[in-house]
Structure 1
Amino acid sequence: MTDGATFTILIVDDEQHILFSSESLLRFAGFREIRTLDDSRRVLSLLEKETIDLIVLDLFMPYVSGRELLTLLSRDYPHIPVIVMTAADEVDIAVDCMKGGAFDYLVKPVENARLVSCVKRALEISSLKNQVSQLREHLLSNRIENPGAFSALVSVSPKMSAIFQYCEVIARSRQPVIINGETGTGKELIAKAIHTASGLKGKFVPVNAAGLDDNMFSDTLFGHKKGAFTGADQARAGLIAQASGGTLFLDEIGDLHEVSQVKLLRLLQEQEYYQVGSDMPLVSDARVIVATNRDLRELTATGKFRNDLYFRLCTHQVQLPPLRKRAEDISVLLNHFLEESAQELKKKKPSYPPELVTLLSLYDFPGNVREMKALIFDAVARHGSGVLSLERFREHIGIRSAPPASASLPVKGVVDGLRQALDRLPTVREVEEYLVDEAMKLANGNQGIAASLLGFTRQTLNKRLRKNRENLP
């Protein structure tokens, strides 16, 4: 999606009627910043003073020809795409211009739609190249220029830091973004951070697409005209209008109805939409960010999600890691949520036993950060005084992490490994010693947690450990 208001286009032609008609056409297509020159000698001096994003260039002009200018532009301003627009319909000249660095070669008279689409395509490709270059420089610098934009995402993980850097770069783009991640990983927080880092003046407007049929989606997003349907006593602007100049965030995009997908595709491609009950298109300049916990590629393969929409959305992609893949954040999040919950519940922040971090680190948190926050808030709400009790955490983790009765535990793999190492079937005592030793390693030496992992009482584990020490040579 190309936002014309953010780009400056220069049209160079010695014929005034060409300048006027081309400028009018591009302005009608949404491009606001357009410069025109009828004297090719002034092009280079203009480029020294102004930032130009694209040049539409005639070939045959007095003083300095378009071919000479193309050579100079390719040498001194290679980042600016140049579209040659000329009356010369000769293959040799076209090939020569393309080899000389032209983005495209258009023969006058040019169809309106062809010129507009060519300009949009050139700007999109140029914008993506600039973003890749900026991203490379930004990642190599290993810094975040606007850390305040990401303050809601508490993390010390290098994985998250790399994501923040990437998001900071793509925030400057107007291209769509897909945010993938499990439930509770913070997809909306990342979307808000991208919006904040973008510097857009408009609002951040979230919409949950799950459960919306096409009629509800259209009315919610695009609004309706008065009398569009029974009960539509007044006209209503949709949420897309509220997101003007800002960001529209569509959550659970994988659940979007097929007909609604077509409407979203049009919004992304043409920046246009129709209110319910209207046949007059409206223009939107909102940046679109979507999120899902589903595999969109798999959905496209089964025909449940449109290929063309997926490829339109996936210009920028953010994959958020689950909490179990960023264990270094456990203690940081624990302290953050203890502080937050204590403030909200008007309590003093409780201290906690060191083994709590180990206990939480052993849990896979299927609900990710959201689940951890809820667990800590509940524990603080139940807390009276002194050190925070582990009981609520053990109860939650014990219930949630217990495998179903039908699940096959990897006992055979353990026994087979010992059998290969010993070159014989291990004894019951050897298997027990191995399991006790592994549980103590996982629990960082904490007997209470190790006992929970093994299904022992703490007293039983203590006896096993004492017996193992006695059997040492």
Structure 2
Amino acid sequence: MPSILVVDDYQSERFIMADPLIKEGYDVSQAVDGQDGLKKLKEKSFDMVITDLKMPKMNGIELLREAKRLHPHIVVILITAYGTLDEAVEAMKEGAYDFIKKPIDPDELKIKVKKALEQLRMIDEREYFKEEIKGYLGEMVGQSKPMRQIQESISTIAKSDVPVLIRGENGVGKELVARAIHEQSSRKGPFVAVALSAIPETLIESELFGHEKGAFTGASFRRIGRFELASSGSLFLDEIGEISPSLQIKLLRVLQEKEFQRIGGTVTLKTEARIIAATNQDLEERIREGRFREDLYYRLNVFPIYVLPLRERKEDIPLLARHFIKKYSLRLGKEIEDISDEAIRLLCDYDWPGNIRELENIIQRAIITSKGDVITSEGISLGGVKVKKEASSFEEAVEGIISDFDFNREDLPLWEQIMSALAVRMVERCGEKAKAAQMLGISKPTLYHWLRKAQIEL
């Protein structure tokens, strides 16, 4: 439950404020004056402060200023028996939520506290949503038949509330599809994304369902979980195939019952969050292996959408490349107007193991290094290999990469031979795959892709 600090230099007044709030289930602490209140604010985090205005040592306005300095989103309600209009105006300017006159009506206090905490929750949601959309890559781009089919599927399913399962390789844009579904829906709440594979197993449950203060070691304050944040919006669960069997059971219950409890809590909370899950795993195979629950699979797979890898819809590459040029030129302080036909052909000949994410990174690098207003093939660096415009220079570059590497895969296109040779040589040089991937500016899965092409055991 929310934590509240009550500050008053009279014990009887503290009791009048604290008692009805404790009976409502709030976690209430008390301070005997402003300085004691400030000490407690430095020791722990509170959701709200209710403080008397007139106190010795430090008055309510001074405590309000310090509370806002320490915790900018904290809600502060001031109490006084001598309230004047000037004091009220000053308190509001300093960030007070409300101003209540004594004698205190317990019912009025409870109503104001409830409304203030609801405002705090809305602030939390807005701030969270701001952080989430910072990573938003932009609207979906593509006119290939597969992309048109996906756009039709999005329009069909957006107005419904049924779960959606988006499948496809890493980097194909599964989160973009999920966001498009949310944006075309009538849902008023936020789009909340959770990268399940990026969260330690011990923290996933807290991340999804939230926890109460004291629920476990280190839980010094209440945390709102993702299901609660997305209650009237959409919850995107990325890499759903990676979660443990125990969490699968809990997630199945939420999907069935539409309710959950915070860790350490006793109150059952309802959720109307629309579930959109995504995976790059073969869930059917994982079910056969006993690693994924079949009943959860059917709960999630009500409306499946498969996003093809970029190598299977290369007609979208010119549109995507120009989209990223337009998006990043201004941000990077460059005036890039277009990309040459030769550079487009180069991009279309590439296999794109990293899919759209890899294309986006390559276009950003090309923008940074471009010396004119058009990106040419000289500025295209695929997997760390910068291509020369002249054929002779290109051949020399190829020869330099694979000259001292025993690599005989003439069945592969030239670009795949280059990338595979480069991946092997970088691993040999760095001694470890993670560092090699970092040096090449690619992900570990992309590095593994090229090593497999070179028939290197992983």
Q: Into which bin does the TM-score normalised by the smaller protein fall?
A: 0.5 to 0.7
Aligned position for 2:332: 345
In structure 1, the partner of 2:290 is 303
> What amino acid does structure 1 have at the position aligned with 2:378?
E
Displacement of 1:213: 4.5
After superposition, where does 1:47-446 map in structure 2 within 5 Å? Answer: 152-385=139-372, 387-393=374-380, 396=383, 408-410=409-411
Q: Structure 2: which amino acid aligns with 1:410? A: D
Q: Counterparts of 1:8-23 in structure 2 under 5 Å? A: none
Unaligned runs of at least 5 residues, structure 1: 1-149, 412-438, 443-448, 454-473
1:88-120 per-residue CA deviation (whole Å, 9 max, x = no partner) reads xxxxxxxxxxxxxxxxxxxxxxxxxxxxxxxxx
- For residues 372 and 281 of structure 1, do their structure 2 counterparts lie closer, same or farther at Cα, with a shift above 3 Å needed? same
SS at match of 1:250: strand
Once residues 408 and 258 of structure 2 are traced to their aligned partners in structure 1, the CA distance between those partners, rounded to angstroms, is 51
Q: 1:374 to 1:199 in 2, by over 3 A?
A: same
Q: Is the 8 A contact 1:350 1:385 kept in 2?
A: no
How many Å apart are 1:281 and its aligned residue?
Answer: 2.4
State the distance in 2 between where 1:407 and 1:258 align.
Answer: 44
CA distance, structure 1, for counterparts of residue 339 and residue 386 of structure 2: 21
SS at match of 1:269: helix
Rounded Cα–Cα distance in structure 1 between residues aligned with 2:206 and 2:382: 45
In structure 2, what is the equivalent of residue 40 of structure 1? Answer: none
Q: Determine helix, strand or coil for the equivalent of 1:332.
A: helix
1:251-287 per-position Cα deviation (integer Å, ceiling 9, x unaligned): 1111112111111100101111121112442211111
Identical positions, percent: 39
| AA of the residue aligned to 1:258 | P
Does structure 1 conserve the Cα–Cα contact (< 8 Å) formed by 2:311 and 2:355? yes
Report the CA distance between 1:383 and its aligned residue: 1.2
Q: Distance in 1 between matches of 2:291 and 2:314?
A: 35
Deviation at 1:233, TM superposition (A): 2.5
Find the aligned partners of 1:395 and 1:318 in 2 and give their Cα distance: 29
Give the AA of the match of 1:339.
Answer: K
Mapped partners of 1:313, 1:322: distance in 2: 22
Larger C-alpha radius of gyration, 1 or 2? 1
Residues 222, 395 of structure 1: alpha-carbon distance in 2 compared, 3 angstrom cutoff: closer
Q: CA distance change for structure 1 residues 274 and 322 in 2, over 3 Å: closer, same or farther?
A: same
* Alpha-carbon distance in 2 for matches of 1:210, 1:410: 35
Shift of 1:234: 2.2
Letter in 2 for 1:270: E
2:342, 2:376 within 8 Å by CA — same for their partners in 1? no
Q: Residue 336 of structure 2 contacts residue 374 of structure 2 at CA under 8 Å; is this kept in 1?
A: no
**Distance in 2 of aligned mates of 1:405 and 1:274:** 59
Query: Quick one: which amino acid aligns to residue 334 of structure 1?
Result: A
Structure 1 residue matching 2:166: 3-state secondary structure: strand
Asked if the contact 1:212/1:257 (under 8 Å) is kept, the reply is no
Q: How far apart are residue 388 of structure 1 and its match?
A: 2.7
Contact 1:225 1:275 (C-alpha < 8 Å) held by counterparts: yes
Structure 1 position 202, deviation (Å): 0.6
Q: Distance in 2 between matches of 1:305 and 1:312?
A: 12
Secondary structure at the counterpart of residue 380 of structure 2: helix
Preserved CA contact (<8 Å) 2:379 2:386: no
Residue identity in the other structure for 2:345: T
Contact 1:201-1:246 at 8 Å conserved across structures: yes
The C-alpha deviation readout for 1:364-419, integer Å capped at 9, x for no partner, is: 111111111110110110112254342342664858999995664439xxxxxxxx
Coordinate RMSD, CA, aligned: 2.9
Q: Which amino acid in structure 2 is aligned with residue 300 of structure 1?
A: I
Provide closer, same or farther for how the CA distance between residues 398 and 211 of structure 1 changes in structure 2, counting only shifts above 3 A.
closer
TM-score, normalised via structure 2 length: 0.54
Normalising to structure 1: TM-score of the pair? Answer: 0.52
The answer to whether the 8 A contact 1:337-1:373 is kept is yes
Q: CA 1:395–1:304 in 2, change beyond 3 Å: closer, same or farther? A: closer
* Counterpart secondary structure, 1:346: coil
Query: How many aligned residue pairs are there?
Result: 268
Distance 2:170 2:408 in 1: 24
Amino acid across the alignment from 1:292: T
Structure 2 counterpart SS, 1:156: coil
Structure 2 unaligned blocks of 5 or more:
1-136, 388-397, 420-458
